[in-house]
Structure 1
């Protein structure tokens, strides 16, 4: 060994003699001379293959000169010197010998208030040398902690991104090499690291996060709060590598941070947020770190968890399918910190950034999945948080919050949750955010088990069917959530919902009456079908038949106070239309509601709507009002109490509109088969005057309806009418031949044709000759009408009526033939009359 050491000394002395001239040249003023000297020194050392012992001696002698060259004005000289120092440190057996000289120079060049090294590539090279020094010297750098921190403080915020990265790497290595000394200065690196952690280059952000992890790991932990908010922001980073770095750092702290128990409530949300990351790799990493954290905590607290470990708790019966239940340690960690986590979660769910709200909503679901039945003791703040979050317009936020509400249904006894939920639904029904509690209620009901929910069905059903709840709002979102509650009850409790079938039907009727949107109407139809199915009913008719008495009683309680804006008016319309033939089975209950609502002193607009409803029903009376052929028992009341009083003339546009609606209803009655000819004859004397009076209405629609009603009346019972009644009708129809509306003229002409065709044996043509003569004369006037279609129509009517008294008609035609603009139609009519059998009179 002595021989080898002596040999190294001789070799080193030989090398130094060779380098002596080049070392002298380093002091020359010429840049090129200094450059050539450095290159020559490099050749004579590293390219000669010298042993490490020789290199050590040479390095010791060259170090000061090389360090001086690091301040050389020529960039190439500085670069070569830095490179050579790095090569020496890498190759010598005792690199720590250079520290007393190297560290001060690097501190001077890199750690001052101003950057002395202008070339960014050279700053990077110096930092690489410093990192190398940390790697090879390790804890021997302990005396230089202050200098190292000065350098890192400055270089972490270096303008050159690669220098930032290298500085962060050096920070990580240095913190691990001298942990017992580093913690005293670690705090001073937090500020520069937080300035760099949001750098535009993702690789710089990753390096800053890793350095932050190492600094906090080997510090007192006092700066944890200064760091966590920045790391939380990086969970929303666009770069998966950045999010992965945050996950690694936080997971490392949860496993290895000396004072980690003090920070569990702050670190757990960060790691659990990564469990829902979009990148599978990050999710798997977070799952592994969290599993290890829980297992480690479980082992550390084994004595405290002895009872739970000895008797493994089975998962809840409704535990979400396809979800692996977290370990006991993980569940206990969340349960014991939940009270400290929820305030922050609640606050972040109202953050102005959508991404923050969405991530927090996902985190809440993960927390509840871990907390299980421990949610019960935090139920009130949890529900309040979900109410506000569900008022959010962001679908992703709402989806995650509703999943959380379903978990509450799984884990919390409905008796506890419903007490709070239903009270809030009742108290908030009039507020602008009233749909939030209903949304949460529907989701929670979906999560409940049938056995746990069944004892509370009546309670829930009565609450939903309460007028203050189901009739409170016409907003679509509110009605959708109301419908969602009904669907949840039906899907969970199925046939047991028979006990609240009436309440659910009341809710469905109300939703259908308050919304005309086709999509929502279809959902109501589907839900009503489900309500029938769970009870084994054949269809909607059976459902209404089952509850019609209660429904009518339900509505009759408020009938005296109805107006057009009353929900009950809409509900009655829905029931009457949707129940189909069933409404005909309950006319004794239905008619009084109509009778009270159609009195002339009631709200005009409400009466308009009810007449429209009646028109729909009467047009299909065999399948609605007259399905049991019992409408005849109520016909007199219908006419005397409902219809005729509303046909009485009163001044004003509103009164005219009501008369029009009443005429529509009358026409529907006549055309829909709701009245037999015998019944019609019995009320004809009360009906005819009112209809004839309507022929003089200002409204064209009313006149048209009156004409059609007269025509239908004649079709049904015309031959059975008395001559006096018939003679009262035709003059009023003739007046309509001069109507301003072509439609009215056409219908009145058709009615006259029907009048002529229904003259029976009781009509004495001789006695009534004057009436026929007047009618023929008036029709012949219109035979010369400017409108050719009217001429043709009149001709057909006269041909139809020619059989009544052909001689009289021929006489009247001959009298006017030459007075008309064209005798064509008169000639056609005469030819028709001549073709009639002689005994037709």
Structure 2
């Protein structure tokens, strides 16, 4: 370049610099635009350096210009210088960084424009990137200025500034070896950004915090704070945030200093991502975690190689089908095994009051069990109480996940160890639904060979009154799940043990009996289906009942106390009677139990048991009685029913008498031969019941008379009188039964008190009274009345003809006479 050209160029630059300092904003702006174009036209670093030497003071001053456009242009010019320089120029470190600090790095933010703040932070990132070096620490002398800027702007109100700041931090970490000196000062502001409402900010904050922790030395509390702050983001609603948590966790497992001390806190970050809802996240994090395992294997090769020699088979036969993926590598499993101290944190979160936290911790526990396998057995005693509580949770999703975890434990853990602990807790807390559900899932996951040897021990414990006598619907459902498993195992055995069979039978009967407490019949339906499966055949069912029902009835304790109809003991007795009925072997046990209830319990409880007796008597099986039905029924009626049939004052007494009469009627329906012999002995009770206040009692009493055999003459007379009095009963059903009963009422002619004349007079009186009710307005009575008259005509033709002659001659009676004479009613 000629000297004249150079002089012209310098004059132009002097004019340009003068215009940059001009008071007129438009001139300053035009001059800066001209300078920007001039920078891009420089071809060499020497030319750029000369240009910069003439203009840098003016540019630095423009950083503080009162107009935002001027400040923005100055920043753009410096960026262009930075871009065009092939070599490093100390100007950026000596002048620009300190200027930045004064503008955006002080506690009181000088720069008011958010856009300029963002431009300055972006420029800071470019400068750091330009001056990064592996040889000389060029950034060392202005390191504190840069850190002041970064720390201050992490608390900026502007979200974009946060993200630019995080990018600059990541660049600075690799740009200077001195980054570790103040790295811990970034932890607190970065952890605050983890709660930012924008997901992009949360994501880059996690990434930056992960990088910063790699350079923290002798500040373990800061690393712990970082991990604890990141952990809640594992349940973030945005997938990118969760993914970054897993990536940082894997990065820490590989690169973090003293990482072995933090394994129990870092590993959960990775394992939680392995249970993420998105397949892409699970696959990506799994790839990273495999590399972590490989590094851990290499670092502990001598120890793990010995394990590798014997660790080539799956721990259980259906392992792959269970977890739907291949078995984790030995390095990953060893890494998790070394981190089992994390269980303390997981257990604490399993007891948290927030449902998402409990669910999240259970998913994490599932992964820990999967990787730790048998090594987790040593932690089972710590986890089991919290897992049992989770199984009793109000949230169905939590219960479902807790049962999955328990099932996996049953698959992978040492059977004898967890069985000993759970059996101990079942005995200690016999009515705990959570423990029962947890045990059920554990047992379901265990190998069939182990379970076969434990069925009798478990069934013996479950059959006790403390465990089995529970009215809770959820508890009964869980109990049925466990029983179903044990029954299926029992049925696969070639030789069934008698003790095991006895306990399983008792549990099934008790559970079905107690299901009567609920309106929902699902439990009863399941129980009955399982009961039929267990018994196999009706004959075997009868045999099992005869063998074991005495013990079931005797297990119902404290029946000599006052119980209501909702008492577990009353419901149990009612259900047993209803399900199994009567057999000779346990007839006396039922009789004793029912007697205690009728003597001590409330009226409603007595009514419930009597209704159960009615249903049982309707299903009476003579084959089960082995020819002793007459004797057993006589004793039962005399000892149990007859005292209840005696009249007592009060509404409760009326209801009890009604149910007792119904039970007596059921005997008459199912045991007609026995009833013909037994019922005549109850004539005095029946006479009293026929005039009872309750219509239903009167109806059942007359039905009992219909089933009875010949009565003694005096009893017959009183019965005729009482039944005839029921022809005027306010209840039409009672009137119909009375009319039906009169022709069927029998007298014993061999009785010493029997008188033929008196008997004929009674028959005449019966027939004459029946004729009087032919005009009853109740439409159903007339055919019953005519049928009864026809039976009396056939049974006593002479007396009947004499009574017809006494009838008045009118159209009603003439029609009846004609019908009877023509035998159309026979």
**Structure 2 length as normaliser, TM-score?**
0.89
Q: Indicate yes or no: 2:67 matched with 1:68.
A: no
Match of 1:693 among 684, 688, 692: 688
Match of 1:132 in 2: 126
Check 1:10–1:664 CA distance in 2 against 1; reply closer, same or farther (3 A cut). Answer: farther
Match of 2:772 in 1: 781
Q: Indicate yes or no: 2:215 matched with 1:213.
A: no
Match of 2:723 among 733, 741, 765: 733
Q: Indicate yes or no: 2:396 matched with 1:395.
A: yes
Task: Compute the displacement of 1:568 (Å).
Answer: 5.8
Check 1:12–1:782 CA distance in 2 against 1; reply closer, same or farther (3 A cut). Answer: farther
Match of 1:36 in 2: 30
Contact 2:690/2:697, CA 8 A, preserved across alignment: yes
Contact 2:487/2:504, CA 8 A, preserved across alignment: no
Match of 2:513 in 1: 513
Check 1:286–1:61 CA distance in 2 against 1; reply closer, same or farther (3 A cut). Answer: same
CA deviation profile, 1:32-51 (whole Å, cap 9, x unmatched): 111111112223332x4644
Question: C-alpha distance in 1, partners of 2:532/2:678?
Answer: 42
Question: C-alpha distance in 1, partners of 2:389/2:637?
Answer: 55
Contact 1:12/1:58, CA 8 A, preserved across alignment: no
Task: Compute the displacement of 1:203 (Å).
Answer: 0.8
Question: C-alpha distance in 2, partners of 1:699/1:35?
Answer: 110
Cα RMSD after superposing both structures: 3.2
Q: For residue 621 of structure 1, give the secondary structure of its aligned residue in structure 2.
A: coil
Check 1:360–1:312 CA distance in 2 against 1; reply closer, same or farther (3 A cut). Answer: same
Q: For residue 115 of structure 1, give the secondary structure of its aligned residue in structure 2.
A: coil
Match of 1:123 among 98, 117, 126: 117
Contact 1:196/1:208, CA 8 A, preserved across alignment: yes
CA deviation profile, 1:351-405 (whole Å, cap 9, x unmatched): 1222111111111111111222222222311212212322322223222322222
Contact 1:176/1:214, CA 8 A, preserved across alignment: no
Task: Compute the displacement of 1:558 (Å).
Answer: 5.8
Q: For residue 686 of structure 1, give the secondary structure of its aligned residue in structure 2.
A: helix
Check 1:310–1:687 CA distance in 2 against 1; reply closer, same or farther (3 A cut). Answer: closer
Contact 1:414/1:452, CA 8 A, preserved across alignment: yes
Check 1:774–1:373 CA distance in 2 against 1; reply closer, same or farther (3 A cut). Answer: same
Q: What does residue range 84-233 of structure 1 map to in structure 2 within 5 Å? A: 84-98=77-91, 99-139=93-133, 140-178=138-176, 180-220=177-217, 221-222=219-220, 223-233=222-232
Q: What does residue range 245-644 of structure 1 map to in structure 2 within 5 Å? A: 245-318=244-317, 319=319, 321=321, 322-338=324-340, 340-429=341-430, 434-471=432-469, 473-491=470-488, 495-496=492-493, 498-499=496-497, 500-516=500-516, 517-532=520-535, 538-539=536-537, 541-546=539-544, 548-556=546-554, 561=559, 570-571=571-572, 573-579=574-580, 583=582, 586-594=583-591, 597-598=594-595, 601=599, 603=601, 605=603, 607-622=606-621, 631-644=629-642
Question: C-alpha distance in 1, partners of 2:192/2:379?
Answer: 38
Contact 2:105/2:153, CA 8 A, preserved across alignment: yes
Check 1:829–1:291 CA distance in 2 against 1; reply closer, same or farther (3 A cut). Answer: same
Q: For residue 68 of structure 1, give the secondary structure of its aligned residue in structure 2.
A: helix
Question: C-alpha distance in 1, partners of 2:4/2:635?
Answer: 135
Contact 1:11/1:54, CA 8 A, preserved across alignment: no
Task: Compute the displacement of 1:551 (Å).
Answer: 2.8
Task: Compute the displacement of 1:789 (Å).
Answer: 5.6
Task: Compute the displacement of 1:515 (Å).
Answer: 2.1
Q: What does residue range 43-58 of structure 1 map to in structure 2 within 5 Å? A: 43-46=37-40, 48=41, 50-58=43-51
Contact 1:555/1:568, CA 8 A, preserved across alignment: no
Task: Compute the displacement of 1:662 (Å).
Answer: 2.2
Question: C-alpha distance in 1, partners of 2:385/2:166?
Answer: 44
Match of 1:743 among 733, 752, 760: 733
Question: C-alpha distance in 1, partners of 2:196/2:72?
Answer: 28
| Aligned residues between the structures | 799
Task: Compute the displacement of 1:31 (Å).
Answer: 0.8
Task: Compute the displacement of 1:727 (Å).
Answer: 4.2
Task: Compute the displacement of 1:554 (Å).
Answer: 4.5
Contact 1:15/1:44, CA 8 A, preserved across alignment: no
Contact 1:621/1:627, CA 8 A, preserved across alignment: no
**Structure 1 length as normaliser, TM-score?**
0.88
Q: For residue 89 of structure 2, give the secondary structure of its aligned residue in structure 1.
A: helix
Question: C-alpha distance in 1, partners of 2:128/2:195?
Answer: 26
Contact 1:274/1:283, CA 8 A, preserved across alignment: yes
Contact 1:445/1:489, CA 8 A, preserved across alignment: no
Match of 2:812 in 1: 825
CA deviation profile, 1:392-445 (whole Å, cap 9, x unmatched): 222232223222222332333333222221111111125xxx112112211111
Match of 2:704 in 1: 709
Check 1:484–1:752 CA distance in 2 against 1; reply closer, same or farther (3 A cut). Answer: same
Task: Compute the displacement of 1:612 (Å).
Answer: 2.1
Task: Compute the displacement of 1:202 (Å).
Answer: 0.8
The unaligned stretches of length 5 or more in structure 1 are 1-6, 533-537, 818-822
Contact 2:471/2:514, CA 8 A, preserved across alignment: yes
Question: C-alpha distance in 1, partners of 2:51/2:634?
Answer: 128
793-802 or 206-215, larger mean C-alpha shift = 793-802
Contact 1:611/1:665, CA 8 A, preserved across alignment: yes
Task: Compute the displacement of 1:806 (Å).
Answer: 4.0
Check 1:16–1:808 CA distance in 2 against 1; reply closer, same or farther (3 A cut). Answer: farther
Match of 1:3 in 2: none
Question: C-alpha distance in 2, partners of 1:32/1:556?
Answer: 107
Contact 2:490/2:496, CA 8 A, preserved across alignment: no
